[in-house]
Structure 1
Amino acid sequence: MALARGDKQQALASGERAVRNDPLGPQATALLGIARSFADDPEDAEDAFRVSAQRGWRDRLTQIYWYDAAMQANDIERAALRADALLRANPNLEGAAKLLAPLEATPEGRLALARRLAEAPAWSQVYFHAGQAPDATRLENRAQVALAAVKQDNVLKCDRMGRFARELLLNGMRRDAENLWRASCGTTGAAPARGMLADGNFELLAKSTEQAPFGWRKFASGDLAVDLVEIAPNAHAVRARSTASVTRLILSQAVDVPPGHWRVRARGSVPAGRLVISLDCDGRARRPSRINGDAAAAGQVLEAEACERAVLGVWLRPGRDEVTLDEMTIEPAE
């Protein structure tokens, strides 16, 4: 390819030849536009891209050119329109995240994207999906786009936005997840009031996360069993047993607690010292190094910092005895 070799004259000749061979094709005209831009001829490049834009919205090079032009002119609405056209034709476009990042970085850009996404184009399924190890800033921006989108008169439904809310929750973004869930799915399965645990008696743990996302996550492995058991009609408990030689995470929950000291209690058949509680700020539960109190007795006291991604973890220390949890509570420590 002449462009790849840096041969400006050959690239221009190739573009002109493409137009002669297919004078009505938007791809040929776009190729000429790229060649003219590469040859430092911005005015003729713009003329070529104006022609290609009139001949179809599905040409990738044309939409990228006009998207970039709109961004340089700070025409945010038009940039979002071009991005929408590009992604409607290519929902899984490689590099889409980099393309959309400038729009996502500003309130105006996020609102413009929300207006396009409110129509539920096919690319919204890809956009509202956190994926593996997502970039934290990108996810925070997309959470704001999602909330703005569901506030429009739109066709986005709870099944799609509810899934994204659950993904936000799994990434420790409880407050964003709660706001999005309430806006798109209503109060059914919504999070509890601030400073409270969801599903303290484990009733919702028996349901799918699609119905009740704001609750506990169970963790199990080859040397750790964590089961939900029915102890009475419509009453459940969590039963855990471990053969591990180290302390293991058995439950976690994204929480929203104000800064201060909080007392967590575990009720049930719990031997002294077997359970420890953690409270972390980055969306991941980590084994606590300092323990203040016993959750199975008077309660373990935790210090909460001001953070947006708090997660509470319940850990099981090594021991042969089985542990049964009937209820978990949290309250301000006096």
Structure 2
Amino acid sequence: MSIPLNGKRPVLGRALGTAALAGLVLVTVIAMTDRVGASVMPSGPLSAGKARGVFAAANSAGDSDTSLAAGERMVRWAPVVRGSLSAYGVALGTAGYPDRAAEVLRAASSLGWRDEVAQAYASTQALVNGEVDLAAFRMEALLRSAPESQLTRQTLAQIMLDDGARLALARRMGEGVEWPANVLIGLRDRPAEEIAATAVLLAEARQFGFRADDRVARWETFAIYEENPRLAWALWLALNGEGGLARSGLWDDTFAVADKVGSGTSAPFEWRRATSTSANVNVGEVDGKPRVEVIGGGFSAQDISRQAIVLEPGRYVMSWSASSRIEGRPDLHLSAVCVTPNGSMTLGPIVPTEGKFGRLLEVGADCEVVQARIFAPSGDTTMRWLSDVQIASVD
């Protein structure tokens, strides 16, 4: 059963039915660790404490009459305890009193921003009524007070489906300090469509000034990359913008973290030090151009640094500058592999051209992600360098 606003629309909108809400209220009522009031009678059959237990059990059993009676006792004996009014409102809805349920939930939403049930009700009701700024305001309260709550996630999912409400929330995120990052909590464990919708919200929030912590952004991106590289790519762009794509065809063309290892210090779409290399890898700069510098490790050929790139099927030219002790042969060069299982890719020979080096790269239709690699041949332990990497389409 749902709680209708009138004869046509449910109080909690199309996605939040009363049955699901009641289950979440159950958790909220039992926990109640952050109280703003106390029961008038700490013990006895009419105590609010006992009523909370009865309410929880009745909700679990689907007994609407008992949960309604318990909700009334909760409000009577502990009206200012967080959760009492909102639980009573849900009980009214499940018992078949939609108008009274709406009134009680509206009252609950005015008593304080920490009541997640009341805030979810207020946000979704505002969304149903087309009040997108109010919906975003209530959504902020949820993200502040209960960022890991399933109810928060359900309400956020509805906000992200509405263009106006999503944009209003993105604007608030751009003005916020700490709470906007709560949108990322648990993101890796959500369905792909929800992650994609969140990426849209984050991209809009970035336009209004939101910036995620670098370490958190890398952790979340790496976790999602393991399951869905293209989805991780969309999230990374949403969090960090286009990077060097317009200049070079790679997100990272500065080698800023090429000497780093791990999800806390680099992301799949940044140059990062290969864990298997025995060489010393440094990041330097000459004439204003960043470059990666390698010393040692010349007794065996090895990858030095890697970066994942999302490329559409077609032909590309990979080009770079590098030190060259033997004319026409770079001390360090670029290679690439397709990291999609069974994906096809063809890599041509190295060709010197106009003071640089290049090679043709052909990406098959079944290759979703290419991993570019900086490769060091064996036989040299002195300092070698590579810079000015570019990948350009030739189709």
Task: Give the structure-2-normalised TM-score.
Answer: 0.60
1:63 CA drift (Å): 1.5
Q: What is the alpha-carbon distance in structure 2 between the residues aligned to residue 144 and residue 29 of structure 1?
A: 35
Listed as ranges, the matches of 1:146-295 within 5 Å are 146-152=202-208, 156=210, 160=212, 171=225, 177=236, 181=240, 190-191=243-244, 193-197=246-250, 202=255, 205=258, 215-221=270-276, 224-225=277-278, 227-229=280-282, 236-238=292-294, 250-255=304-309, 260-265=314-319, 267=322, 276-278=335-337, 290-295=345-350
| Runs of at least 5 residues in structure 1 that lack an aligned partner in the other structure | 184-189
Q: Is residue 326 of structure 1 aligned with residue 381 of structure 2?
A: no
Aligned-residue sequence identity (percent) comes to: 25
Measure how far apart 1:122 and its partner are.
3.4
Which residue does the alignment assign to 1:32?
88
Distance 1:17 1:76, change over 3 A: same
Structure 2: which 5+ runs fail to align?
A: 1-56
Q: Which amino acid aligns with 1:141?
A: A
Q: In structure 2, which of residues 60, 65, 70 is the aligned counterpart of residue 4 of structure 1? A: 60
Q: Which amino acid aligns with 2:205?
A: A
Output the CA distance in 2 between the equivalents of 1:231 and 1:70.
54
1: CA distance between counterparts of 2:126 and 2:119? 10
CA 1:200–1:237 in 2, change beyond 3 Å: closer, same or farther? farther
Displacement after TM superposition at 1:60 (Å): 1.9
Tell me, what secondary structure is at the counterpart of 2:113?
A: coil
Q: Could you say if the C-alpha distance between residues 252 and 311 of structure 1 is closer, same or farther in structure 2, counting changes exceeding 3 Å?
A: farther
How many pairs does the alignment contain?
A: 313
Deviations 1:119-149 (A, max 9, x none): 3153312224686466544444333323433
Q: Whole-Å Cα distance in 1 between the matches of residues 169 and 104 of structure 2?
A: 27
Q: How far does residue 286 in structure 1 lie from its aligned partner after superposition? A: 6.5
Q: 1:52 — aligned with what?
A: 108
Q: 1:310 to 1:238 in 2, by over 3 A?
A: farther
What SS does the aligned partner of 1:40 have? coil
Structure 1 match to 2:174: 118
Superposition RMSD on alpha carbons, in Å? 4.8
CA contact (8 A) 2:257 2:265 kept: no
Larger radius of gyration: 2
- Residues 178 and 191 of structure 1 are in contact (CA less than 8 Å); yes or no, is this contact kept in structure 2? no
**Residues of 2 paired with 1:167 and 1:34: CA distance?**
38
1:295-306 alignment runs, 5 A limit: 295=350, 299-304=358-363
Normalised by the length of structure 1, the TM-score is 0.69
Q: CA 1:168–1:9 in 2, change beyond 3 Å: closer, same or farther? A: closer
Q: Is the 8 A contact 1:268 1:325 kept in 2?
A: yes
Post-superposition shift, 1:41? 1.4
Contact between 2:336 and 2:347, CA under 8 Å: does it hold in 1? Answer: no
